[in-house]
Structure 1
Amino acid sequence: MDQSIAGWIKPLTDLLSGNPWVQGSLVILITFTISSILTWILFKTVQRITSRTTILIDDQIVKLLRPPVYYSLVVIGITAGLSLMPLSDTIQVIARRCFRSLNILIWVVFFIRFSTLVLTRLADLTDRFSFIQRRTLTLFDNLAKVVIFGGGIYGIFMIWKIDMTAWLASAGIAGIAIGFAAKDTLSNLFSGVFILADAPYKVGDYVVLDKAGRGKVTHIGLRSTRILTRDDIEVTVPNSIIGNSTIINQSGGPHEKMRIRLKIGVAYGSDIDKVTEILTNAATEESAVCKSPKPRVRFRVFGASSLDFELLFWVDSPEDRGRVVDIMNTKIYKQFGEEGIEIPYAKQDVYIKGLPESWSASTDQQS
């Protein structure tokens, strides 16, 4: 029985030991099986560990990591199998380099997906990482892809023994030429990157710029920012100008509310307590004025011809400023008229000391 089994196995062992093509092919075939088993055991163990955590990102990373690990093991087995085959040295080198390059591309895809996953997670944690937000996610995602892809290209060049010195020198010269030719565009581009990263304002905010005036931000791009003025005119401002200008974000701060300072002057001799009461009631009773913080009145200065007061109140949005100021001015003017409180204004009195003799004589003749 044993001799018969040995007789059946002996031709197979002779075939394997004497034929390198069969040996190499067998190693390659066995590689797929061994790679599958090792990958399954490894990630089954890792998944048991990650399943005990409360976060989801580790499970997603493990899921992304499984394919490149499997294919890396397969590439190792294929290169080992090829080394057993009686191929020429040139074919051996080319085959190994091709499979290693393919393996690098597989890992490049993994790292691109990994960076996107991590950046998306960081963008959701805006309370901890204010630098990476939803509006800057695309910028950092593209930047990470460029870096990872560049690293992959560099690795492939190293595998194929390609000297990078000439390529880097050419890229440096081309970069200098492009920089001089498109310095304004690059200035706007970098300013746009800093605006997206620093986030001094966002779409929907009311801002005041030195040259563009006051308006609502409708679009923030890498080259320019668009602002819609109160006259419904859209102004496009290059980001380089915004980067070097003072920006007043009226929608910024702890809330979007905006305080309005309404200056009112009354004539000397007016009852200042009555004036304070009228101004306070006018703001308190108006529905467009915020109840918190409460409106307040300040007696600021003794003016040249008036007692100058200032009514301070808040509105829900900077967009409401013009409308609410109109409402308050109308209400205060009417109530001052009803209470007999005079609002001083500039006026001139002309006193005639004497008339010319010719004009007086003609007047006497007519009379």
Structure 2
Amino acid sequence: MSAKQNLRRLVWPVVLMIVAVGLLINRTALAGLFENGDLVILAITALSYFSAAWLLSRIVALVLDQNPIRKRRYPRLLKDLIAVILFFVAFAATGALFMGQGAVGALAGSGLVIAMLGFAIRNVVADTLSGIALGIEGPFRIGDWIDIDGLARGKVIEIGWRTTRILTRDSAYTILPNSQIARQRIINYSAPKPQYRAQIAITLDHTLPISTARELMLEAVKKAKLIQQDPSPDVRVRSYDEGGITYSVRYWLSRFERDVDCRDEVYSLIDDALRQAGSIVPHRRIELVRSGARGSSVMKDDFD
């Protein structure tokens, strides 16, 4: 935002503040012109409170927008909340003045009202403050693909005062309170870059040498059209167990929304390559065959 636009945002609050200060200075003389002089003084004081709240809210918003330290802008939610707090204090102070209290009593009364309201709506306040914290830290933005541990995985559609809305890959519209999100581990697949690495696990028989298995799977994965070939995919041995050798096929994706399609393509290509090479060993089967004799049985060990 340019300096000219910033000045425009301050023009009317500054004008109102100047008028309020002028009236406040001359309040005694103005009060003498009316029968209800005390009421006029109270009205002028209330005007000064609200004009100060308006000006302060605009100044705070400009300071947050022009902060050179942060690459991301502060969320509008934070600026709106600060403005609401300032106007609420002005409203509470005005109400206290009209009830016959002084400035100190007005501030104390507004603080008491804020404390009572805060206790009554503590869950709402917790969600709102969590939303502000998420906005300030910026772990995710609208349009990012995220995984909130134990809650949801999908694309961020909206970040509101109390809730964050996520659209899952199954087109399920999920609404989560910000306080719950703030307590969970968040994985952002879109930041700092949308590119990330995925992997699948495949277990093959011991009779197939590791070098041959790696070569077959790499050649198959290189034919994939949905994944990125730079950085190039690779194959690593994950475990060597009694049931077979488990391999991790690792590859890079350009965007998280392609994860399911890429996984399907990689599995299909590897399956085709292994079948064409005759490298899929028949699955071992144990069949229990009952004989004619009562209570006796024969175990038959064979392959499918």
Describe the shift of the 1:162–1:132 C-alpha distance in structure 2 as closer, same or farther (beyond 3 A). farther
Instruction: Work out which of the two has the higher radius of gyration on C-alpha atoms and give 1 or 2.
Output: 1
Partner in structure 1 of residue 128 of structure 2: 189
CA distance in 1, matches of 2:119, 2:15: 42
CA distance in 2, matches of 1:249, 1:148: 36
Describe the shift of the 1:340–1:167 C-alpha distance in structure 2 as closer, same or farther (beyond 3 A). same
User: What is the letter of the counterpart of residue 70 of structure 2?
Assistant: F
Instruction: Kindly state the Cα deviation for residue 232 of structure 1 after the two structures are TM-superposed.
Output: 1.8
Q: Which has the higher helix share?
A: 1
Structure 1 residue ranges without an equivalent (≥5): 1-54, 360-367
Instruction: Please give the secondary structure, in 2, of the residue aligned with 1:348.
Output: strand
Query: What TM-score do you get using the length of structure 1 for normalisation?
Result: 0.63
Describe the shift of the 1:183–1:341 C-alpha distance in structure 2 as closer, same or farther (beyond 3 A). same
For residues 258-308 of structure 1, the C-alpha deviation after alignment (integer angstroms, 9 at most, x for no partner) is 311111222222133232222222222212111222111112322212122
User: What is the letter of the counterpart of residue 145 of structure 2?
Assistant: Y
Question: Is 1:203–2:203 an aligned residue pair?
Answer: no
Structure 2 residue ranges without an equivalent (≥5): 297-304
Question: Is 1:227–2:166 an aligned residue pair?
Answer: yes
Instruction: Kindly state the Cα deviation for residue 328 of structure 1 after the two structures are TM-superposed.
Output: 0.9
Instruction: Kindly state the Cα deviation for residue 149 of structure 1 after the two structures are TM-superposed.
Output: 8.0
Instruction: Please give the secondary structure, in 1, of the residue aligned with 2:207.
Output: coil
Instruction: Please give the secondary structure, in 2, of the residue aligned with 1:311.
Output: strand
Describe the shift of the 1:151–1:346 C-alpha distance in structure 2 as closer, same or farther (beyond 3 A). farther
The one of 259, 280, 297 aligned to 2:235? 297
CA distance in 2, matches of 1:95, 1:356: 111
Alignment of 1:1-367 (within 5 A): 57=3, 61=7, 68=15, 75=22, 110-122=55-67, 128-130=69-71, 132-133=73-74, 136-144=75-83, 146-147=85-86, 150=89, 163-252=102-191, 254-343=192-281, 345=283, 347-348=285-286, 350=288, 356=293
Whether the 8 Å contact between 2:221 and 2:269 is mirrored in structure 1 is no
What is the RMSD computed on CA atoms of the aligned residues? 4.5
Whether the 8 Å contact between 1:188 and 1:224 is mirrored in structure 2 is yes
For residues 74-112 of structure 1, the C-alpha deviation after alignment (integer angstroms, 9 at most, x for no partner) is 949x95xx79xxx79x99999899878867766665555
Instruction: Kindly state the Cα deviation for residue 341 of structure 1 after the two structures are TM-superposed.
Output: 0.8
CA distance in 2, matches of 1:335, 1:284: 12
| Identity between Structure 1 and Structure 2 (%) | 22
Describe the shift of the 1:225–1:344 C-alpha distance in structure 2 as closer, same or farther (beyond 3 A). farther
For residues 232-259 of structure 1, the C-alpha deviation after alignment (integer angstroms, 9 at most, x for no partner) is 222222222112222222333x311231
* Length, aligned pairs only: 294
User: What is the letter of the counterpart of residue 198 of structure 2?
Assistant: I
Describe the shift of the 1:358–1:277 C-alpha distance in structure 2 as closer, same or farther (beyond 3 A). closer
Whether the 8 Å contact between 1:278 and 1:335 is mirrored in structure 2 is yes
Instruction: Please give the secondary structure, in 1, of the residue aligned with 2:285.
Output: coil
Query: What TM-score do you get using the length of structure 2 for normalisation?
Result: 0.74
Describe the shift of the 1:65–1:152 C-alpha distance in structure 2 as closer, same or farther (beyond 3 A). farther
